[in-house]
A and B are shown apart, each in its own frame.
Chain A
Amino acid sequence: MRKPAAVFLLLSLSICACKAPPVPPEAKKAEQQEQSLWRDGAHVWAKEDFDSYRAIHVEAKRKLSKENAKFVWFRNYEQVSSTFNDVLKNGEELQEKVRKLKEIKSESIAAQLKDFERSITGFLRLTLFMNEGRPIRLILTKAELMLKEARLLYQREDLDKAEEKLESLSVSVKDVEDMILLVLDRYSDPVQVTKWRKWARDTILESRNKNIAVVIVSKIDRKLSLYKGGKLLSSYEIGLGHNGLDDKLYAADQATPEGRYRITDKLPSSNYYKALLIDYPNEEDKRKFDQARSQGHIPPGVRIGGLIEIHGGGKHSMTYGCISLENKDMDALFRLVEAGTPVTIVGAINDMNEILMMFKGKR
């Protein structure tokens, strides 16, 4: 009984006396590194790399467990330590990769935010200038909100959601561009602009040949020019309606007609200070209206309309298709024209006009 007990005691003592070698500190560091990588989103930003990193980490842990499972005096952590060092090195490289990827995405989002802000600010100004206060503005305001949400997400470093928001934003901005283009495409069409320019030139020629006063209105420039004897006498800023940049087609479309007209009546007193009535619709307008109606472009029961005037009330007034001037300018104009004075209304005289430049600058 004494001998086995002594052997057992000796064995126990030798186990207790033999101190286990310390577990390599790299194991703990690697554990912390993996957590830090996860926190940095390595599993999202570089999934494949993170999976390989985890695989070698698991392998290192397996080796550590294997070593730990050995009797104390057989443990040797040298190889384990080297494996963990590989894990740490791999992790550092992955950390750098994630940092760079994040930086690239972050820079790209910041640039997009800046671009969209510039576009939206420009479009807001442009829509005000165009008097486009309704459908386009509605989408623009929503786009503005989306931009702010995207910026908020970006500031919180939620780059994926910020990017998602920017994608929706780009759709809205594209819609705005398309809607503006619908109004403005005629203004960049060289054939159309040449036609308008010819009308203006012929009108000035008429002024020179007959030594009479003529009026030329350029809608896109928001300008009314008075010529006498072919020479420019004065220019006034004007206001138009909601659809002032469109060519008038029918009653209540709030568009301002384009064509060569004459003053038919001078009204010293009207709802809008003084007014000069023009002979809209002329024969060309009637032809266009009939053609549009036959093609189904005119709502049923709608007539061609009339009563288009140059009147006072202020250049910022929202007209229903007329042309408005400041009252003092209206006074001056009223004195210099008479019934029969030619009035030519064009969309633009230059294809490099301000609105087009503004629009091109935003695209």
Chain B
Amino acid sequence: MRNTSRFLVLFTVVSLVFAGCGKKPVQETNDAEAAISAAIKAGAEIYAQEELLKLNNDLAAAKNQLDIQDKKLIKKYGAAREMLTKIAADASALQATVASRKEEAKNNAASAQNEAKAALDEAKALLEKAPTGKGARADIEALRADLKALEGSLAEVQQAIDSEDYLGAADRARIIQEKASGISSQIKQALEKVKKK
């Protein structure tokens, strides 16, 4: 009887030790989820898709681990807790990465916008010098309309930048630059042709 009592005491002590490790990491789960949400809000879906996918997968794995432990008699949440803490830390780090990539995209958009503007200004200046002789007036009218359209589109680049669509803004600016440069080349060729004559 005395031995049985001692065994019970030992069993209780061991159970208490296990129970100490068995506290479900609710706070850590909430923190990890909140950190991922914050990363998404910062723009991770646009600027860090792969990293975000990995975080979501890690979170799913951690939750799976929690489910497994939930069903066990002796619950060990240590591994899941560790995973969740790491996810929260990674998600916070990702916010910084996203911010830096966003800044980079913003700078790229601004620089593409400046280049497009410079190309457009060059084309406009060249058009003023374009030969207006035989065969050219209709073309000049058309090119003038083209440049006007490009000017309108350049204003839309600013709108895209203002609405933080930096990737779209950069794309549009590069296309404008390409078109404006094409017009400049056309006029230069015409000028060259006139010079030769």
Contact = CB atoms under 8 A, between A and B. Distances in A.
Given A128-B142, A131-B141, A149 B175 contact: yes
Contacts of B67: 61-62, 65
A128 B64 CA distance: 66
Given A137-B149, A145-B153, A1 B3 contact: yes
Nearest to B6: A1
Interface string B33-66: 0000000000000000000010001000100100
Contact of A128 (B138, B168, B178): B138
A318 B72 CA distance: 88
Contacts of B138: 128, 131, 133, 239, 316, 318
Contacts of B178: 148
Interface residues of B, number: 37
B135 interface: yes
A20 to B, nearest CB: 13
Interface in A64-121: 65-66, 68-69
A194 interface: no
Given A39-B53, A134-B145, A66 B71 contact: yes
Given A141-B145, A144-B179, A316 B53 contact: no
Nearest to B153: A145
A133 B152 contact: no
B125 interface: no
B139 A314 contact: no
A35 interface: yes
A318 B7 contact: no
B85 to A, nearest CB: 21
Given A69-B68, A134-B141, A145-B153, A4 B179 contact: no
B134 interface: yes
Given A137-B146, A144-B179, A149-B175, A65 B137 contact: no
A339 interface: no
B121 interface: no
Contact of B142 (A38, A133, A142, A149): A133
A165 B148 CA distance: 21
Contacts, number: 91
Interface centre among B6, B53, B61, B64, by most chain A C-beta atoms within 10 angstroms, is B64
Nearest to A319: B137
B145 A68 contact: no
B60 to A, nearest CB: 9
B176 interface: yes
B53 A38 contact: yes
Interface in A1-41: 1, 3-4, 8, 31, 35, 38-39
A133 B144 CA distance: 8
A302 interface: no
B175 A3 contact: no
B112 interface: no
B176 A145 contact: yes
A317 interface: yes
Contacts of B149: 137-142, 145
A142 B153 contact: yes
B134 A316 contact: yes
Contacts of B68: 65, 68-69
A152 B137 CA distance: 33
Contacts of A131: 138, 141
Nearest to B137: A318
A148 B175 contact: yes
Interface string B146-157: 101110110000
Contacts of A144: 179
A133 B140 CA distance: 8
Given A39-B53, A133-B141, A314 B135 contact: yes
The 6 closest A-B pairs by CB, nearest first: A133-B141, A141-B149, A137-B145, A316-B135, A318-B137, A314-B134
Given A145-B179, A316-B135, 8 more contacts: A4-B4, A61-B67, A66-B71, A133-B138, A137-B145, A141-B149, A145-B150, A145-B153
17 contacts: A4-B7, A8-B7, A61-B67, A65-B68, A65-B71, A69-B68, A128-B138, A128-B142, A131-B141, A133-B138, A137-B149, A138-B149, A141-B150, A142-B149, A148-B179, A242-B141, A317-B137
Interface of A: 1, 3-4, 8, 31, 35, 38-39, 61-62, 65-66, 68-69, 127-128, 131, 133-135, 137-142, 144-145, 148-149, 152, 239, 242, 314, 316-318
Interface of B: 3-4, 6-7, 53, 57, 61, 64, 67-68, 71-73, 133-139, 141-142, 144-146, 148-150, 152-153, 168, 171-172, 175-176, 178-179
